[in-house]
Every structure is written in C-alpha cells, then in structure tokens.
C-alpha cells in the first residue's frame, strides 16, 4: 500500500511541476499577497486585499507562509501552490489508511481510487492552485482516518481533533462534515447512541470548537469582524424555493463529476429493482433539469462549467444536468439499500455526511468547488464496494472514467495556463509602457490583480476588456489560445 501511495503522490507532484510556476489565475494572487503580508510586516496591503475579497479564514495563508518560507521565499508563483498540492497527497494518504483496514487485498482497487481522485477534474485543477479548496479536504479526510484507527493507535485520538481544527481554519465548510465523526464513533460503539457515544463525541469536538472560537474572537479583536468580513458577506435570504434550486444544482453537478463511473450505481439499482428502476430515472431527470425550466432569472452563482461553457450550447448543458441528476439519485438510493439491507457502514457514512452537507450548502450561494469534500468519499464507496466481483466495472468503467478525466484536464489546464499567461502578459505590457497606473484592471482583476493594487486610487482613463474570439482593433491585445484556437482576447480600450 505504501508503494502505491508513494507512486501516486510522486506522479501528482511531477505532473503538476510541469506548469506549477505559470502565472496566477482565479484570485490566486489574493492568497499570495496575504502570504507576503504575514512574512513582511510592511506589506499590510496584502491582508487588506484578502479580507476585501475572501470569505475563507486565514488557514491556507498560514500553510502557504510555511511552505514559502521553507523554500527560501523564492520569486515566481510555484511556492504558494505547494499547500494545495500537499492537500492532494493528504487525501491519498487518508485513502491508504482506510484501505489498509480492509480484510481483502485491495491494491488494484486502491490504484483505481487514487487515479479517479487524482485526476478528478475539480480536484486536479484546484490541487495545482493557491486557493483554499483541496488542502482542507486532505486535512479533513486525514482526521477521519485517524479517528477510524484511534482504537488501535491512541496517538490518533490526540492528533485527529487538531487536524480537524486545521481543516476548519482553512475552510469553514469542513465543520459541516462533523456528522461523519459522530457516525464513526457510533460504529465504534456497537451502533448505539448512549452515554459512551456522547462522551466520545464531546471529547473529540471540544478542542476544535474551542480552537475555532478562539480564532473568531482573535479575528474580531484584530480586524473588526466575526466569521467573515463585511465586504464579502451576503445577506441571508431564507426561502425554500432558493434552497431547492441550489440542491438541484449541487445534485446534478455532483453526478456529472463522477463521470461514467456513476453507471456502477445505476447497474446496481437496476439489478435489485428491475421493475421500478425507471422511476428513479424519471426522478433524477426531473431533479437535474428542473432548474433549467425556471425562467425567473435565478442566479446560479459559481455553478458553471468553466472553460467548457464556451464550447457547449444550451441543449448540451441541459442534457448534462439531466444525466447528472440521474446519477445522483441512483447513487443515493443505492447507498440507502446498501446501508439498510447489507449493513454497509461506508454507505451509511456517505449518506451521513453527503445529504446534510448538501442541504446546508444549499441555503447559501452555491459554488461547485464545495463538492470537492464529497468526491473522494463517493469514489471510495463505488470502487471498494460496488465493483466487487465485477472486474469489467473496474477495467472498463473505472479506468475509462480516468481516461475521460485526463482528457478533460488536458483541455482545462491548457485553458487556465493560456488565460493566466495572457492576463500576465497584458499587465506586464501596461507596466512596461507606463500605463498601469491609469488603466482599470477590468477583466484582468481576477487573474492579475496584484499588479493593479498599488494604483487602485488613481484616476483611470483606460480599461482592459475581454471578448470571445479575436479582436481586430485595439491599443493592445493578448489572446487566450488553446490548441491553436483563440477562445477569447484581452484588449485595451
């Protein structure tokens, strides 16, 4: 198991190293400038920018500071991304701990699980970016694994709460996965809710809750806000309709992120319910496309498809959402059957963490990256418990899904790198020609905003815009070219 873990960790590091030092994209610079502020007391603007644009706590910034300091505070972009890459390694390590507890020899299944998790597009893209998305997942899963093995390894009883606290301080969403710990303690307590179970839960959660409370009080005393800065807080508008719409979006997107491997659950339900499986097909289709039938202009937040939005039409998007909803409904029902009929503890764990997490997330602004917390757990269930005695599931659906993921990542990474370089080139051109101070960052702000921060208060006479395809006339332009095709252009006007 250790050799397989080393192989996938090394492979991930080597492949990410191919583009780890490319310019920032998608607000990475916000974390980088905050890191610089921690190391340099005179660079206070970085933390101010962070709190004006980020709702995440400072955990990733602290981890990034450690990596950046240990690597000698190098120039460039790569050192700020090491914390995210370490999060991917932590996810794989947690999977190795769980796999080692299985009675059967599961090395082939572990290799498949590592491949699915590593190359899952959402995980792969964010594990190479300086954002607080993959690191908390790795810390959370490590904490789960340590609690799982705490009965035989007493030191894990002390390490697990600390690591869980670190996960929360990196991203508050880790706290929403707390029911998973309660479920593990319940299983360790002969599936009984009693005083012993409550005692275990109390001992475990005491330190993380005290720690996060201390952090929140410190943030209030130092920076004047509690939980999240006022500049990025959004008023909560309770409403069953909006929550249901968000849940529909999450469900369909999660089903899509499983790729063709989600067919494993569909085949399982069809086998166990040969006369009624089509009912779940209709329910899933309705869940996936229901959001698209609403014409009230509801904002979907960050639930788009990234660079794929530019090449997919409305019909294809509707089809994907329908398929995603179908995959989600079959997965959830399959877990219910496995948990109740077959007493599958992993299926029960998945339901315990998945449904409450999605329901709570559905009450706020939706974002697809929040689903990263669930992907490794779902793949663990599908690989280790739904492909038993089905070798063709592993070879065809499993590794076929890995191939689909790899192809998707090749396009997505090339798009991100091309976009980052075009943004950085435009900013560098403005600096070289002494135009940066009088130019509004416009479309560059999310990728290369660090160059414009010192001049936010100066008068602006020009602006950087973007347009799909080529731009023939402009003062200066930089193209985002992927595989010889210009997808969009940044231009100065």
Q: What is the DSSP string of 330-375?
A: HHHHHHHHHHHHS--HHHHHHHHHHHHHHHHHTTS--BGGGGGGTH
Determine, yes or no, domain membership for 276: yes
Query: Where a domain ends, among 217, 233, 249?
Result: 233
Report CA-CA distances (Å) from 350 to 307, 338, 376: 30, 11, 10
What is the H or E stretch that residue 491 is in? strand 485-492
What is the H or E stretch that residue 482 is in? strand 477-482
What is the H or E stretch that residue 329 is in? helix 314-341
Report CA-CA distances (Å) from 288 to 48, 313, 325, 368, 371: 40, 17, 4, 15, 16
Do residues 23 and 447 lie in contact, with contact meaning Cβ atoms separated by under 8 Å? yes
Three-state DSSP class for residue 200: helix
Same domain, 119 and 228: yes
Determine, yes or no, domain membership for 98: yes
Determine, yes or no, domain membership for 28: yes
* Cα 99 from chain centre: 23
Question: Cα–Cα distance between 88 and 133 in angstroms, integer?
Answer: 10
Report CA-CA distances (Å) from 475 to 447, 463, 466, 471, 493: 20, 11, 13, 11, 6
Determine, yes or no, domain membership for 172: yes
Same domain, 69 and 114: yes
* Cα 309 from chain centre: 19
* Cα 472 from chain centre: 38
Question: Cα–Cα distance between 422 and 478 in angstroms, integer?
Answer: 5
Residue with tokens 């798009």: 415
Question: Cα–Cα distance between 185 and 205 in angstroms, integer?
Answer: 12
Count other C-beta atoms under 10 Å from residue 39's C-beta.
13
Same domain, 465 and 481: yes
User: Smallest Cα–Cα separation from 104: which of 389, 488, 474?
Assistant: 389
Determine, yes or no, domain membership for 29: yes
Instruction: Return the pLDDT at 352.
Output: 94
Instruction: Return the pLDDT at 238.
Output: 56
Total number of domains constituting the chain? 3
Instruction: Compute the CA torsion angle 263, 264, 270, 272 (nearest 10 deg).
Output: -170
Same domain, 226 and 253: no
Same domain, 106 and 216: yes
Instruction: Return the pLDDT at 293.
Output: 47
Query: What angle is formed at CA 312 by the lines to CA 309 and CA 315, rounded to 5 degrees?
Result: 125
* Cα 447 from chain centre: 19
Same domain, 49 and 72: yes
Same domain, 18 and 113: yes
Question: Cα–Cα distance between 373 and 355 in angstroms, integer?
Answer: 12
Query: Where a domain ends, among 388, 407, 433?
Result: 388
Same domain, 146 and 294: no
| Burial of 185 per CB tally in 10 Å (0-12, 13-18, 19+) | buried
Determine, yes or no, domain membership for 403: no
Same domain, 112 and 206: yes
3-state helix, strand, coil in the chain (%, to 5): 70, 5, 25
Determine, yes or no, domain membership for 185: yes
Instruction: Compute the CA torsion angle 50, 53, 59, 61 (nearest 10 deg).
Output: -40
Determine, yes or no, domain membership for 395: no
Instruction: Return the pLDDT at 434.
Output: 93
Same domain, 192 and 307: no
Query: Where a domain ends, among 340, 370, 388?
Result: 388
Range of 437's domain? 416-492
- pLDDT digit of tens for each residue in the chain (493 aa)? 789 999 999 999 999 999 999 999 999 999 999 999 999 877 778 888 899 888 899 999 999 999 999 999 999 999 999 999 999 999 999 999 999 888 777 899 999 999 999 999 999 999 999 999 999 999 999 999 999 998 888 888 899 999 999 999 999 999 999 999 999 999 998 888 899 999 999 999 999 999 999 999 999 998 888 888 877 766 556 577 788 888 988 999 999 999 999 999 999 888 888 777 778 788 888 877 776 544 333 345 577 766 666 566 667 777 888 889 999 999 999 999 998 888 889 999 999 999 999 999 998 888 899 999 999 999 999 999 998 778 888 899 999 999 999 999 999 999 999 999 999 999 999 999 999 999 999 999 999 999 999 898 899 889 999 988 888 777 899 999 999 999 899 999 8
Same domain, 77 and 224: yes
Same domain, 450 and 304: no
Three-state DSSP class for residue 152: coil
Q: What is the pTM of this model?
A: 0.93
């Amino acid at each position: 198991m250790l050799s397989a873990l080393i192989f996938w960790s090394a492979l991930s590091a080597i492949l990410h190293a191919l583009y780890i030092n490319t310019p920032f994209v998608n607000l990475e610079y916000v974390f980088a400038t905050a890191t610089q502020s921690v190391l340099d007391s005179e660079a206070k603007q970085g933390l101010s920018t962070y709190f004006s644009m980020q709702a995440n706590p400072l955990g990733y910034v602290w981890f990034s500071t450690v990596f950046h300091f240990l690597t000698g505070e190098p120039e460039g972009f790569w050192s700020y991304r090491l914390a995210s890459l370490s999060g991917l390694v932590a996810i794989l390590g947690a999977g190795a701990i769980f796999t080692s507890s299985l009675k059967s020899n599961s090395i082939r299944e572990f290799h498949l699980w590592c491949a699915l998790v590593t190359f899952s597009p959402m995980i792969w893209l964010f594990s190479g970016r300086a954002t607080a998305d993959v690191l908390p997942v790795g810390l959370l899963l490590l904490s789960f694994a340590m609690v799982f093995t705490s009965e035989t390894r007493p030191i894990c009883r002390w390490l697990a709460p600390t690591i869980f606290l670190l996960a929360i301080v990196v991203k508050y969403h880790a706290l929403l996965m707390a029911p998973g710990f309660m479920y593990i303690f319940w299983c360790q307590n002969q599936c009984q809710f009693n005083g012993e179970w409550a005692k275990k839960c109390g001992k475990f959660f005491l330190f993380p809750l005290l720690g996060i409370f201390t952090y929140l009080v410190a943030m209030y005393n130092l920076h004047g806000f509690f939980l999240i800065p006022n500049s990025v807080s959004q008023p909560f508008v309770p409403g069953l309709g909006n929550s249901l719409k968000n849940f529909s979006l999450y469900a369909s997107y999660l089903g899509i992120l499983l790729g063709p491997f989600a067919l494993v659950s569909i085949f399982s339900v069809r086998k166990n319910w040969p006369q009624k499986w089509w009912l779940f097909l209709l329910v899933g289709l309705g869940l996936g496309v229901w959001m698209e039938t609403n014409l009230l202009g509801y904002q979907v937040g960050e639930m788009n498809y990234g660079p794929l939005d530019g090449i997919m039409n409305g019909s294809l998007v509707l089809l994907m959402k329908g398929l995603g909803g179908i995959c989600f409904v079959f997965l959830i029902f399959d877990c219910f059957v496995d948990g109740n009929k077959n007493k599958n503890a992993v299926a029960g764990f998945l339901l315990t963490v998945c449904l409450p997490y999605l329901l709570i997330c559905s009450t706020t602004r939706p974002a697809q990256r929040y689903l990263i917390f669930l992907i490794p757990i779902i793949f663990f269930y599908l690989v280790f418990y739904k492909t038993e005695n089905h070798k063709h599931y592993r070879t065809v659906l499993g590794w076929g899904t890995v191939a689909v993921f790899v192809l998707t990542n090749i396009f997505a990474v090339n798009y991100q790198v091309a976009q980052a370089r075009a943004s950085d080139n435009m900013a560098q051109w403005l600096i070289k020609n002494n135009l940066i101070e009088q130019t509004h960052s416009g479309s560059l702000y999310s990728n290369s905003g660090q160059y414009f921060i010192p001049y936010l208060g100066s008068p602006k006479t020009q602006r950087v815009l973007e347009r799909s395809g080529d731009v023939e006339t402009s003062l200066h332009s930089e193209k985002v070219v992927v595989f010889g095709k210009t997808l969009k252009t940044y231009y100065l006007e």
